[in-house]
A and B are shown apart, each in its own frame.
Chain A
């Protein structure tokens, strides 16, 4: 089996919000950060990253501002908004509930039925 996990639908937005919540990032930075915090387990399809960022910006969950990159290039930095923080909290909680429920379901043994 491949060591990178398939991205579940709807989880890309959540991961972007998480990545941006730690520190303002540019688009490429988001990609790196997700790779880093998932210990290279999750690979984002690069083509979907920017539409997702624009969608989140339009929904007012993140804001964008032009700034200087590490190597002194102009880059667009994304920051989490208050609404985005709230959304991230909700989605994290929802995800955790779902994940533990699925984990519990999968752990079920014959005796427990």
Chain B
């Protein structure tokens, strides 16, 4: 069988060889036979005649041979293909419309599907990736839904949760890598020793970390990512054992990861041990996660997620028995949740992507309906021709395959164009921020996607052929010849089908338009939200200070000299430093204890945004002062324990009194009297997490020296456009220390705009989709209406001849389109209402059923459809009876 197929295949590619062989074989036969007859005494002419008589026509033999060998199907296919091409060329307007529709619909679908594939579908590049879980602490009643895990959690859990084969922690970071003078800031990950075995993919060269390498004194080792090894070490095979400086401290390279290693969306170049001290591992630090350290685990092959969750719950309950803070933790609704790693990583973007996928599928549906309608109209012009051919003996099988070949070659060509549109669309999406999605950097237009697209195109072609073939062959040729003769009206069934297609197109387009409108309005409402400070003319940048070179006092000195140098520059209005700037993406919160505050029943400690500020931070950012005063440079230099809170904080703790003069401690417990901070000012609330952040979390601003961290953000208010100040800022920092780079330099306006990309891009895409949908609906309505007019040309001519006014004719066609439009709008509004409900979670201060949006969308759809109907209706009204009747 297989060999047989192969020989057909050979015959097809070497078609000429097949034909030549056949001819030669027959010629040989004829010569042999003639020779034999001549030898037996026959004259040459007589022999030749005898051979021809016995053999028959060699053309017939060849045709029989081709059929016997199975290649005639392909000949037939070729014939039908060229017939289809001829037909399509004959109607360039139809063909161009169809190809464009298909190209746009396929392209849009491939583009969105590429994103869905990369972000939601493709498994993580590890063995049995669905066994990988993440575990994080949650304190929902303290408004901290996600707090990562602590080092203590890790040491308490590893080896003690039977459902897990392996468990590990990690934290993202970035370090200054390289020797003095040639440093670079690279993304890194600090991981516990089992990190690689948990994932099931470890170094290709060297080894992983050991337990001995998890203390700060012994963690001087590093594992390189494959690209880092190639770029920095030229893929040196002897790299193991060499030294690399990280934050000015030498470390020994002990391993190189495979090129396929990629942990979620991280592009970490270096992997370092996650070192901790004995204090870090104490039970009292169990709840100190702060969403910095994350935990992953691999389920045993026999274990289930539910089992792991109940084991974690049981262990937490047992451990909390001895915890002095047990009550507070319980009040906060503490729980450690086990969640599949991949799903958790993309959970935030999943609804938006699914919404876009739904939108793009609706677009495809509209395009498909449109094309079927146009194909049906086209087929109705050929019913008579097909009937004649049927009457002359063409088999229905042949006629159906002819239709299939025609529609499929159309969709296939459209699919090819769609591939080009899709490839362009993916590039466009990158510009709209798709590669910043989780797992988004893997979005690519690959062969798999192309095959999928072309496969879908072929399936679509076959599906399109069904109604067309049904329409052409549904009755016997005799009837067809009579009923669809020119001048008659079209069959009722076909007309209903065409009209219902128009109605569904209008409904779907209206749904898409409403969805886009809701997203757009939601975006507008978000953009109208004030961030709580004056975001214009502020440049910010992050500076990472290595602990090896900068002790706490060193950091203070660095900040001081930075403030001094920047303050002297022309164009600078004010400048300040903070350890976490709003819209930085870091939304870690920490606890504070207010003196004299008695927790109400069931009230837990609250997480607040806590900042350390130096310089003239508040004025640089343009905060509003509600009461008291700002912290200034003097406060950061002095050692007086003062702080500032925001109005949310003040309102929560002192709803009726003043916050000024009140005292609080940094941490979840009241400390010594001397360690309390006195509130000296109240500022306006600031959106730390993004403009849509709606919980009034409260914020505390301490002098920088009391809250020194790994890195600082510098904020500069300038008189000039802030971006133009970026180079100066870098130069100033380099003057203080040439080895400390400034990264993530962006104006506050840019930070805010960037934070909206997750809303702006979907709204923009939905807008584009609904624009295309409207255009397609317009084409579809126009096509059907003008066909109806052409069909009834004679009838209209007769009526006008009998005295009908052209106004009446026009009204008749317009009322037909109004009926279709009304039906479509009603269905569309129902659909839009349902769609609005499913996308409720994505909307910001917009109800799922927004009357304004619905009304606007309905009006736009109506306007577009009526415009599309006006031209054919007008043409109908202007039909001249003489000409219409003479044409027959």
Report which A residues bind B (CB closer than 8 A).
26-28, 31, 45-48, 50-52, 54-55, 57-60, 66, 69, 73-76
B25 touching A75, Cβ below 8 Å: yes
Query: B-side binding surface: helix, strand, loop or mixed?
Result: helix
Contacts A47-B61, A48-B64, A59-B4 aside, 9 further interface pairs with beta carbons under 8 A come to A45-B54, A47-B55, A47-B60, A58-B4, A58-B7, A58-B69, A60-B3, A69-B32, A75-B25
- Known contacts A28-B33, A46-B56, A47-B56; A54 and B69 CB within 8 A of each other: yes
Residue of A nearest to B60 (CB): A47
B45-61: CB near A (< 8 Å → 1, else 0) gives 00000000011100011
* Residue B241 interfacial (CB < 8 Å): no
Which residues does chain A contribute within 8 Å of B32, judged by CB atoms? 28, 69
- Structural contact, A51 and B28, CB atoms closer than 8 A: no
Q: Are B28 and A69 in contact (CB under 8 A)?
A: yes
From B28, which residue of chain A is reached at the shortest CB distance? Answer: A75
Chain B residues in 8 Å Cβ range of A58: 4, 7-8, 68-70
Determine whether B65 belongs to the interface, using a CB cutoff of 8 Å to chain A.
Answer: yes
- A60–B4 touching, CB < 8 Å: yes
Chain B residues near A55 (CB, 8 Å)? 68-69
B888 CB–A CB distance under 8 Å: no
Q: Which residues of A contact B7 (CB under 8 A)?
A: 57-58, 60
Interface string of B527-554 (1 = CB under 8 A from A): 0000000000000000000000000000
Binding site for A on B (CB under 8 A): 1, 3-4, 7-8, 21-22, 24-26, 28-29, 31-33, 54-56, 60-61, 64-70
Specify which chain A residues have a CB less than 8 angstroms from the CB of B25 in the assembled complex: 26-27, 50, 75-76
5 contacts between A and B (CB under 8 A): A26-B25, A47-B60, A60-B3, A66-B21, A76-B21
Q: Give the 7 A-B residue pairs with the shortest CB-CB distance, closest first.
A: A51-B64, A47-B56, A55-B68, A54-B68, A51-B68, A28-B32, A54-B69
Chain A residues within 8 Å of B21, by CB: 66, 76
With A46-B56, A58-B4, A76-B21 in contact, do A27 and B69 touch (Cβ < 8 Å)? no
Identity of the chain B residue whose Cβ is nearest the Cβ of A48 in the assembled complex: B64
A50 to B22, CA, bound (A): 9
Give chain A residues whose Cβ lies under 8 Å from the Cβ of B3: 60
**Residue in chain B with minimal CB distance to A51:** B64
**How far apart sit A59 and B67, CA to CA, in the bound complex (Å)?**
13
Q: Which residues of B contact A74 (CB under 8 A)?
A: 24, 28
A58 to B25, CA, bound (A): 17
Residues of B within 8 Å of A47, CB to CB, are 54-56, 60-61, 64
> Is the CB–CB distance between A50 and B4 below 8 Å?
no
Q: Please name all residues of chain A whose beta carbon is closer than 8 Å to the beta carbon of B60 when the two chains form the complex.
A: 47
CB distance from A21 to the nearest CB of B (A): 19
Are B69 and A57 closer than 8 Å at their CB atoms?
yes
- Find out whether the CB atom of A46 lies under 8 angstroms from the CB atom of B8: no
Inter-chain contacts of B33 with A (CB < 8 A): 28, 46
| Chain A neighbourhood of B24, CB < 8 A | 74, 76
B28 pairs with A26, CB closer than 8 A: yes
Residues of the A chain whose Cβ atoms lie less than 8 Å from the Cβ of B66: 54
Collect the chain A residues with CB atoms within 8 Å of residue B70's CB. Answer: 58
**What's the least CB distance linking A14 to chain B, in Å?**
16
- Report which residue of A48, A51, A52, A54 has the largest number of chain B beta carbons within 10 angstroms of its beta carbon: A54
Distance between Cα atoms of A38 and B205 in the complex (Å) = 77
A31 to B24, CA, bound (A): 17
The one of A26, A54, A75 that contacts B65, using a Cβ cutoff of 8 Å: A54
Chain B residue with Cβ nearest A81: B3
Cα-based distance from A101 to B33 in the complex (angstroms)? 38
In angstroms, Cα B594 to Cα A32, docked, is 114
Distance between A60 CB and nearest chain B CB, rounded to angstroms: 5
Q: In angstroms, how far is the closest chain B Cβ from the Cβ of A25?
A: 12
Residues of chain A within 8 A of B55, CB atoms compared = 46-47
Residues on the B chain within 8 Å of A73, using CB:
28, 31
Q: How near does chain B come to A69, taking the closest CB pair, in angstroms?
A: 7
B26–A50 CB distance below 8 A:
yes
Q: Contact at A27–B68, with CB atoms within 8 Å?
A: no
A60 to B70, CA, bound (A): 13
Per the bound structure, the CA–CA distance linking A55 and B54 in Å amounts to 21
B64 / chain A contacts, CB cutoff of 8 Å: 47-48, 50-51
Cβ contacts under 8 Å, A75 to chain B: 25, 28
Most buried by B among A31, A55, A69: A55
* Residue of B25, B28, B61, B69 most packed against chain A (CB within 10 A): B25
Task: Give the CA-CA distance A35 to B25 in the complex, in Å.
Answer: 20
Contact status of A28 and B28, CB under 8 A, knowing A51-B61, A54-B68? yes
Question: Which chain B residues border A31 with CB–CB below 8 Å?
Answer: 29
Which of B7, B24, B29, B33 is most buried by chain A, counting CB atoms within 10 A of its CB?
Answer: B29
A59 to B54, CA, bound (A): 27
Q: In angstroms, how far is the closest chain B Cβ from the Cβ of A53?
A: 8
B376, chain A: closest CB distance, angstroms? 40
Specify which chain A residues have a CB less than 8 angstroms from the CB of B8 in the assembled complex: 58
Q: Tell me the smallest distance from the CB of B649 to a CB of chain A, in Å.
A: 85
Q: How far is the CA of A54 from the CA of B25 in the complex (A)?
A: 12
The answer to whether B67 touches A28, judged by C-beta atoms less than 8 angstroms apart, is no
CA distance A10 to B616 in the complex (A): 103
Give the docked Cα–Cα distance between A59 and B69 (Å): 9
- The listed residue (A52, A60, A69) touching B1 by CB distance below 8 A is A60
Could you tell me the distance between the alpha carbons of A47 and B61 in the complex, rounded to whole angstroms? 6
Which residues of A lie under 8 Å from residue B4 when comparing CB positions?
Answer: 58-60
